[in-house]
Structure 1
Amino acid sequence: MGERRAGLVLSYLALRRSVGVIGLALPLTLAVGGLVVDGSGLHPTISDYYYSGMRDVLVGSLCAMAVFLASYRYDRPDAVAGTVAGLAAVGVALFPSTPAGASGGVDPVGVVHLICAATFFLTLAWFCLALFTRTHPDLPPTARKRQRNAVYRVCGATILISVALAAVTGALPDDGWMAAVHPVFYLESLAVIAFGVAWFVKGETILTD
């Protein structure tokens, strides 16, 4: 029984680290890969890489993340949140964003993409702010646990603020400055990296007891 429990703990740690690695690596991989494969600069958003030579990397990373999240069964609330985030990640991958510069009214597929992306990020923030910060009701948190909780809260707040700013920025009129600065890409990247850091810490790669 003890060996089985130890094996489950190691499996969950590996799962958390895997999610963290994807989150940390994805923005840089897309940016550098797009430059190498397409010879282009940054795209306006992470989702816009669907229309580049990095599409398979984007879709593959999202699907891998979806599998890891949907497989996360640490506790019932975690399982529910993981399933929601996993399904949302699949939605982001399978329903691409509206191409930049597209016209012709509302794009239903693009709307589904936005809903899935919002659900994905909000669920990841919920992981950071509510699920990862839980402590044992009968045991006081260790100094390391308090440090980890501080990291989780910063990551959760970073996700929420970055996504909110990205939504506001994306709704602003584009006079050419967005194409030059790419603020939405950087804000989305910050949110993805923040969630990657949180899962990396949860995987006890750093700040271990």
Structure 2
Amino acid sequence: MGSRLEAVRAVFDYKAASYHAQRKCIGILGISLPVLLALGKMLIDAMFGAPGNPDFKLGIVSSISGYYYTVMSGVFVGTLFAIGVFLFNYRGPDENDNRDNLAGNIACIFALGVALFPTAPTPPGDYPKIISMIHFGSAAIFLLTLAYFSLFLFTRTDPNRKPTKRKLLRNKIYRGLGWTIISAIALCAAVMLFLDDYWISKLAPAFWLESVAVWAFGWSWMIKGEAILKDNE
């Protein structure tokens, strides 16, 4: 009897470790993406760029999606595919609750949509508008689905157990990060629609707002993966 109980505990411990590992991987990829793209491009351009070229720019690209047209294209696409694979395989801790699985599959599909349907280049020329629309729609749904994870899935509590102080703190952080994602998406849309021709566009506001949204979802998954703020009670 004791050996059977130990075997059951081992299975649950393995599954819990697997959930935490998946969450941490998603979080690390999200947090590192804007940093890798920006620093990677600047470093490679500084080492191998051609400053005599009138199209040469050493600095931040206008948006995260814009790195598709730089030397960091492989990192951009590869990271989105990696995030998509982890989200597709993510099932959540409760086998009777299918919301984690469904949300992960939706986020996976639209993460791949962001990678496979690139944003329009600058200048756009005769680039098909339908592809740009698919790209922006995929990006919005991808990030909103991750906000849903933070606001509604990560904040669930076991009705049979009293939540710990750390759990209550984590729930507040999850909600704050979820609303940060939504706010950053709304501000980014407003900037692109109404302020694209103003001086502020030179500061790459879309890149920074997208980075805030991506960092918010990344830290949310890192916390859920118990990289920080793990229960100590």
- Under TM normalisation by the shorter chain, which class is it? over 0.9
Alignment partner for residue 40 of structure 2, among 15, 27, 33?
33
1:141 aligns with 2:163: yes
Q: Deviations over 1:135-155 (max 9, x none)?
A: 011222110000111110111
Match of 1:85 in 2: 107
Looking at structure 2, the residues matched to 7 and 69 of structure 1 have their Cα atoms a distance apart, in angstroms, of 19
**Contact persistence 2:110–2:141 (CA under 8 A):** yes
Counterparts of 1:15-26 in structure 2, within 5 Å, are 15-26=22-33
SS at match of 1:38: helix
Looking at structure 2, the residues matched to 156 and 175 of structure 1 have their Cα atoms a distance apart, in angstroms, of 30
Counterparts of 1:46-195 in structure 2, within 5 Å, are 46-74=64-92, 75=94, 76-104=98-126, 107-175=129-197, 177-195=199-217
Looking at structure 1, the residues matched to 154 and 21 of structure 2 have their Cα atoms a distance apart, in angstroms, of 16
TM-score w.r.t. the length of structure 1 is: 0.96
**Contact persistence 1:88–1:120 (CA under 8 A):** yes
What's the CA shift for 1:101? 2.4
Looking at structure 2, the residues matched to 105 and 95 of structure 1 have their Cα atoms a distance apart, in angstroms, of 12
What's the CA shift for 1:11? 0.6
Amino acid at match of 1:8: K
Moved more, 70-79 or 101-110: 101-110
What's the CA shift for 1:16? 0.3
Looking at structure 2, the residues matched to 105 and 81 of structure 1 have their Cα atoms a distance apart, in angstroms, of 31
The unaligned stretches of length 5 or more in structure 2 are 1-7, 47-57
What's the CA shift for 1:175? 3.2
**Contact persistence 2:178–2:217 (CA under 8 A):** yes
Count of residues in correspondence between the two structures: 209
Amino acid at match of 1:144: R
Q: Deviations over 1:145-177 (max 9, x none)?
A: 001111101110100000100001011253352
Q: Deviations over 1:99-134 (max 9, x none)?
A: 132144861111111111011011000000000000
Across the aligned residues of Structure 1 and Structure 2, the Cα RMSD in angstroms comes to 1.3
Looking at structure 2, the residues matched to 100 and 155 of structure 1 have their Cα atoms a distance apart, in angstroms, of 31
**Contact persistence 2:30–2:217 (CA under 8 A):** yes
Looking at structure 1, the residues matched to 227 and 19 of structure 2 have their Cα atoms a distance apart, in angstroms, of 12
**Contact persistence 2:120–2:127 (CA under 8 A):** no
Looking at structure 1, the residues matched to 45 and 88 of structure 2 have their Cα atoms a distance apart, in angstroms, of 33
Looking at structure 2, the residues matched to 33 and 15 of structure 1 have their Cα atoms a distance apart, in angstroms, of 25
Amino acid at match of 1:83: N
SS at match of 1:133: coil
TM-score w.r.t. the length of structure 2 is: 0.86
**Contact persistence 2:195–2:201 (CA under 8 A):** no
How many percent identity over aligned positions? 44
